[in-house]
């Protein structure tokens, strides 16, 4: 089934300025940042990435710019070893390792299912999406970023994927263990909007869990009457606390709302980075009735 959902959203990657900052990269500031953060310097040396993370649009929900590397990094929090558990009795199992019967997509066959694990392909912004549509939901997703002996310089190319609520609102997936990117692009971030409260990431190659509560936006007369909200627990740690979304996910821009149906499919992102495939297991959803 071909969806009409606008899955062309680019939940991408990379790096935005506080209210005092400029609309172009200040060379002196860039050099200062590179000197202070040698681990960022290799990718900040790319003028496009420097512009992305230092001169993005000002955000309406903070004093920072979109994808701003100057924003305070979320504090690392080590977590326990496990988070996987059988689905609750009233959950709809979306993926249990046996088949992809609940899923579809424009390039469906480029995702692989092997040994009970679902893995992204290598096509940029190739979305897998559920056949069913959802509104208010609790979602459980287990995911794993790959071990890479030589990770790509751009931290946004390290195990980048995402859980797209309604195919529009991205909870970022990334290898964020002891590696830094712009905070609103790290694991646990509502991409390009809201960094995680802390960095609860586990190392690459280790399974991690997202437990998500999502409430969709409500529209009235073509305008948003109530914004979307998202709560996220990452590996047992709260990283989004009923966070208000400013709109649909966009990259290095200010998201906004366009009226859409009350229920839409859930999506998983293939960011399309070679040799940095992300794996999934144990995905389930519970429909919520907010009353
Ligand atoms: Mg992503």
Per-residue pLDDT at 9 exceeds 80: no
Helices (H), 55-110: none
Give the pLDDT band of residue 291 (cuts 50, 70, 90): low
β-strand partners of 144: 279
At 74 the pLDDT is 98
**42-53 CB burial, b ≥16 within 10 A, e <16:** ebbeeeebbbbb
Residue 134 is part of a domain; what is its CATH number?
2.60.120.560
Expressed in angstroms and rounded, the spacing between residue 164 Cα and the centre of ligand 1 is 9
At 264 the pLDDT is 98
Expressed in angstroms and rounded, the spacing between residue 34 Cα and the centre of ligand 1 is 25
Does 25 reside within a domain? no
Per-residue pLDDT at 145 exceeds 80: yes
Expressed in angstroms and rounded, the spacing between residue 269 Cα and the centre of ligand 1 is 6
Token reading at 133: 């549509």
Higher local confidence (pLDDT), 25 or 23: 25
At 15 the pLDDT is 34
Higher local confidence (pLDDT), 144 or 272: 144
Place of tokens 């689905």: 87
Does 104 reside within a domain? yes
Share of the chain above pLDDT 70, in %: 92
Q: From residue 97, how far is each of 135, 151, 217, 281 by CA, in Å?
A: 24, 28, 32, 6
Does 42 reside within a domain? no
DSSP states of 154-217: SGGGSS-EEEEETTTEEEEE---TT----GGGSTT-BTTTB--SSB----TTS-EEEEEEEE--
Number of structural domains the chain divides into = 1
At 22 the pLDDT is 55
Q: How many helices (H) and strands (E) does the chain have?
A: 3, 15
Q: Map residue 268 onto helix, strand or coil.
A: strand
At 259 the pLDDT is 97
At 83 the pLDDT is 87
Element (DSSP H or E) covering residue 140: strand 137-144
Expressed in angstroms and rounded, the spacing between residue 67 Cα and the centre of ligand 1 is 13
State the average pLDDT over residues 131-141.
98
Expressed in angstroms and rounded, the spacing between residue 270 Cα and the centre of ligand 1 is 8
At 21 the pLDDT is 46
What residues contact 172, with CB distance under 8 A and at least 6 apart? 11, 160, 162, 185, 186, 187, 188, 189, 190, 191
Instruction: Please tell me the least confidently modeled range out of 10-24, 94-108, 208-222.
Output: 10-24
Expressed in angstroms and rounded, the spacing between residue 160 Cα and the centre of ligand 1 is 5
pLDDT in tens, 201-252: 999 999 999 999 999 999 998 899 999 999 999 999 999 999 999 999 998 8
Expressed in angstroms and rounded, the spacing between residue 10 Cα and the centre of ligand 1 is 8
Expressed in angstroms and rounded, the spacing between residue 191 Cα and the centre of ligand 1 is 7
For residue 178, the enclosing domain spans: 7-20+56-71+88-287
Cβ atoms of residues 40 and 29 within 8 Å? no
Give the pLDDT band of residue 124 (cuts 50, 70, 90): confident
At 290 the pLDDT is 64
Cα angle 187, 188, 194 (rounded to 5 degrees) comes to 110
Give the pLDDT band of residue 103 (cuts 50, 70, 90): very high
Does 221 reside within a domain? yes
Does 1 reside within a domain? no
Share of the chain above pLDDT 90, in %: 81
Per-residue pLDDT at 79 exceeds 80: yes
Higher local confidence (pLDDT), 17 or 124: 124
Higher local confidence (pLDDT), 11 or 153: 153
At 23 the pLDDT is 81
Expressed in angstroms and rounded, the spacing between residue 262 Cα and the centre of ligand 1 is 24
Does 44 reside within a domain? no
State the average pLDDT over residues 11-18.
37
Place of tokens 């326990």: 80
Expressed in angstroms and rounded, the spacing between residue 28 Cα and the centre of ligand 1 is 30
Does 238 reside within a domain? yes
Average pLDDT of the residues of the chain: 91
Expressed in angstroms and rounded, the spacing between residue 89 Cα and the centre of ligand 1 is 30
Cβ atoms of residues 256 and 106 within 8 Å? no
At 14 the pLDDT is 34
Expressed in angstroms and rounded, the spacing between residue 211 Cα and the centre of ligand 1 is 17
């Amino acid at each position: 089934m071909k969806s009409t959902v606008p899955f062309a959203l680019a939940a991408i990657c990379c790096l935005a300025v506080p209210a005092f900052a400029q609309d172009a990269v200040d060379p002196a500031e860039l050099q200062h940042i590179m000197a202070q953060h040698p681990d960022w310097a290799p990718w900040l040396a790319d003028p496009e990435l420097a512009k992305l993370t230092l001169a993005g649009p000002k955000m309406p929900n903070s004093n920072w710019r979109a994808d701003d590397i100057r924003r305070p990094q979320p504090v690392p929090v080590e977590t326990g070893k496990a988070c996987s558990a059988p689905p609750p009795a009233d959950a709809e199992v979306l993926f249990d390792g046996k088949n992809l019967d609940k899923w579809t997509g424009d390039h469906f066959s480029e995702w692989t299912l092997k040994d009970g694990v679902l893995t992204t392909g290598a096509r940029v912004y190739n979305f897998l999406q559920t056949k069913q549509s959802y509104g208010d939901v609790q979602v459980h997703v287990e995911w794993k970023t790959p071990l890479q002996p030589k990770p790509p310089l751009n931290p946004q190319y390290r195990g980048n994927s995402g859980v797209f609520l309604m195919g529009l609102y991205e909870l970022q997936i990334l290898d964020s263990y002891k590696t830094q990117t712009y905070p609103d692009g790290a694991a646990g971030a509502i991409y390009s909007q809201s960094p995680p409260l802390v960095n609860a990431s586990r190392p690459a190659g280790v399974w991690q869990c997202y437990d998500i509560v999502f409430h969709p936006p409500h529209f009235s007369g073509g305008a948003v009457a109530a914004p979307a909200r998202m709560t996220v627990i990452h590996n047992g740690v709260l990283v989004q606390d009923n966070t208000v979304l400013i709109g649909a996910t966009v990259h290095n821009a200010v998201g906004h709302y366009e009226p859409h149906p009350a229920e839409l499919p859930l999506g998983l992102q293939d960011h399309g980075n070679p040799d940095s495939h992300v794996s999934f297991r144990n995905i389930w959803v519970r429909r919520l009735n907010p009353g």
